[in-house]
Amino acid sequence: MTAEWLTCSDFVTATFSHDFVADGYDHDSVERIHRGDIDEWIHALAQSGLFTNLAVTSASESWRDDPHTLLDALLADADEVTVKRYEVAWDAMDRSTFRAVDEYA
């Protein structure tokens, strides 16, 4: 028997993924995650009681460095159509961000 270590991302998926996708596509949520407004997710992680302070801090730093990792964890159990819808929205936000940066450069 091979033991598998569960990561913080695995627990986030198990804890929050179902609720995240159950209500259908949520543009506001993906937009907030995309711009790095992830405090609600960090708070939920901390309040869940499943994680040490170190794990919450580690997840927080990881998500702040790359918010897409949070979205990946939230969509890990979603069907491929739902994942594609969120990815298309994320890519559109990336393009919009790049255009805005180019306009100010």
Q: What's the pLDDT tens digit per position in 27-83?
A: 999 999 999 999 999 999 999 888 889 888 988 999 999 999 999 999 998 999 999
Helix/strand/coil percent split, the chain, to 5: 75, 0, 25
**11 or 84: which leads in pLDDT:** 84
Tell whether pTM > 0.75. yes
Sequence-ordered list of residues with C-beta below 8 angstroms from that of 35, at least 6 positions apart, any chain? 67
Contact of 38 with 67, CB cutoff 8 Å: yes
Q: How far apart are CA 29 and CA 46, in angstroms?
A: 19
At 91, the amino acid letter reads: D
Could you write out the DSSP letters of every residue in 76-87? TTS-HHHHHHHH
